[in-house]
Chain A
Amino acid sequence: SQQGEEDPQALSIQEGENATMNCSYKTSINNLQWYRQNSGRGLVHLILIRSNEREKHSGRLRVTLDTSKKSSSLLITASRAADTASYFCATDALDTDKLIFGTGTRLQVFP
């Protein structure tokens, strides 16, 4: 399976701290995306990083991609209580049209 796996499964931090989530996947990819999901709602796209990119920034988000290790990380800096949500990585493999999601990291940010 090409499914991604996020690590850790759950993360609790205080407001103002940084949150780092990791994603590992199994096959070669076109790109990797990160999504956020508030409880019981749809997913919202955060950032896309292509296979030829190593790092990307968007506001307080920083994503890295290491294709040699088949891994990615999402860093949220200066976290806020409103960042509380589940975060998923999703990969678009080279040999398929599927967007496959990982298991997610549940982030809790305490005020």
Chain B
Amino acid sequence: ETGVTQTPRHLVMGMTNKKSLKCEQHLGHNAMYWYKQSAKKPLELMFVYNFKEQTENNSVPSRFSPECPNSSHLFLHLHTLQPEDSALYLCASSQEIRMNTEAFFGQGTRLTVV
């Protein structure tokens, strides 16, 4: 248990659906991240939030929409996804954005787009 909780653990959605992934941490961290992990590819950084403000959008398509209502919660809203968006989506947090400390990861949401 890392202190970062992601829900749901598994999600199957159609290409016309709208769904949201949730991430929660009560570690007192100020920075939160979304990563995408596809088969046979390195982890791809998607979004970075620092003190609830988005500081990085790594050229992510607009069908992925992040939301950070407070420093403990991070959402990833999904709409009109494509089958190639199927992947493991990992949330992480760290004490600060200049990462001289470790990142704590959630268990991930396994997303399948059909």
A interface residues, Cβ below 8 angstroms from B = 3, 30-31, 33, 35, 40-45, 48, 50, 88, 90, 92, 97-104
- CB interface residues, B 76-114, toward A, < 8 Å: 88, 90, 92, 94, 97-108, 110
In the complex, chain B residues whose CB is within 8 Å of the CB of A101: 35, 42-43
Interface string of B42-63 (1 = CB under 8 A from A): 1101001010000110100000
Query: Which residue of chain B has the shortest Cβ distance to A31 in the bound complex?
Result: B100
Query: Which residue of chain B has the shortest Cβ distance to A92 in the bound complex?
Result: B99
In the complex, chain B residues whose CB is within 8 Å of the CB of A104: 42
- Please pick, from B2, B56, B98, the residue contacting A44 in the complex, using a CB distance under 8 A: B2
Query: Which residue of chain B has the shortest Cβ distance to A4 in the bound complex?
Result: B42
A-B pairs, top 4 by smallest CB distance, nearest first, are A42-B105, A45-B102, A101-B43, A43-B105
14 contacts between A and B (CB under 8 A): A3-B42, A30-B98, A30-B99, A35-B105, A40-B108, A41-B107, A42-B105, A43-B90, A50-B100, A90-B103, A97-B97, A98-B58, A99-B45, A103-B42
B interface residues, Cβ below 8 angstroms from A = 2, 4, 6, 33, 35, 41-43, 45, 48, 50, 55-56, 58, 88, 90, 92, 94, 97-108, 110
- Please pick, from B4, B42, B101, the residue contacting A48 in the complex, using a CB distance under 8 A: B101
In the complex, chain A residues whose CB is within 8 Å of the CB of B35: 101
Q: With A88-B43, A98-B58 given, can you name 16 additional A-B contacts, CB distance below 8 Å?
A: A30-B98, A30-B99, A30-B100, A41-B107, A42-B90, A42-B105, A43-B103, A44-B2, A45-B102, A45-B103, A50-B100, A97-B50, A98-B48, A98-B56, A101-B42, A101-B43
Query: Which residue of chain B has the shortest Cβ distance to A46 in the bound complex?
Result: B102
In the complex, chain B residues whose CB is within 8 Å of the CB of A30: 98-100
In the complex, chain A residues whose CB is within 8 Å of the CB of B55: 97
